[in-house]
Chain A
Amino acid sequence: DGGITQSPKYLFRKEGQNVTLSCEQNLNHDAMYWYRQDPGQGLRLIYYSQIVNDFQKGDIAEGYSVSREKKESFPLTVTSAQKNPTAFYLCASSMSGTGYGELFFGEGSRLTVL
C-alpha cells in the first residue's frame, strides 16, 4: 500500500542532543513537508521541499535542518539550538503543482526532551 512512513513513533532526547526523524514515502510525490503540532496551536510548517536537492524554510525553521537527497526521503533533524523541541512532528507529501493543497500525512513522531 502506498503511504508515508515516519519513524520512530516515540523518541526521548536529553537536552543538547541532536535527533533525526525519518520520513519515507512511496506515493511518487514530488513535494514533502514537515509540520510541528503543539496542543491548541494547529500545525506550523517547519520546512518543505518541492524537488530533490532543494528545500525552503517554513514559518518556524529555526533550530531545525533537513535534506532531500532522494525523492522518497525527507529526514528532519532537531538540533540542540531548538529551544522547545518537545512536540508532535508530522511529515506530509503532495503532488507538486497540483492537488490543490491535498496533503497525505504520516502517523507522526512524538519527541520528548528530558
Chain B
Amino acid sequence: AQSVTQLDSHVSVSEGTPVLLRCNYSSSYSPSLFWYVQHPNKGLQLLLKYTSAATLVKGINGFEAEFKKSETSFHLTKPSAHMSDAAEYFCVVSEYSGGGADGLTFGKGTHLIIQP
C-alpha cells in the first residue's frame, strides 16, 4: 500500500526568502509523485510531476522538487517566495505509473503563509 506524509501542516516564510515544503512517501513499487497547489476556494492545479525520468523536476512559477529514493522524499522548494505563493500545497503519490487517478493518494496538505 502507498502513503504520503506532509511533515508540516503550516509553513510561514518572509517574502523573498526560500520555501521548503517537505513530503515523504511510502510505496511498494516505483512511484510517480506530484505536487498540486490550491488557492482559497479554488480547485487544485498541478505544479510539477516526477515519473521516473530526471530526479530534479522543475515546475511552474519557479518551483522545483527533487526525488530522493534513499530518503523516500519529494520535497518542494522555491528560491524566493512571492506573496502570490500563499496557498495550500498537496503532495500526491501514485503506484500506477500508467494508470488513471484512481490510484492516487493525497497528503493532508501544507498551508504556506507568506509574511510581507
Contact = CB atoms under 8 A, between A and B. Distances in A.
B108 A42 contact: yes
A107 interface: yes
B13 interface: no
28 contacts: A31-B100, A33-B102, A40-B9, A41-B108, A43-B44, A45-B102, A45-B104, A48-B101, A48-B102, A58-B102, A90-B44, A94-B100, A94-B101, A96-B100, A97-B100, A100-B32, A100-B98, A101-B49, A101-B103, A101-B104, A102-B34, A102-B46, A103-B46, A103-B104, A105-B45, A107-B41, A108-B41, A110-B41
B78 to A, nearest CB: 21
Interface of B: 9, 32, 34, 36, 41-46, 49, 51, 90, 92, 94, 96-104, 106-109
Interface of A: 4, 6, 31, 33, 40-45, 48, 50, 56, 58, 88, 90, 92, 94, 96-103, 105-108, 110
A23 to B, nearest CB: 11
Contact of B97 (A40, A92, A100): A100
Nearest to A103: B101
A58 B75 CA distance: 28
Nearest to B97: A100
B114 to A, nearest CB: 20
Contacts of A108: 41-43
Contact of A56 (B94, B97, B102): B102
A105 B9 CA distance: 22
Nearest to A3: B43
A4 B41 CA distance: 15
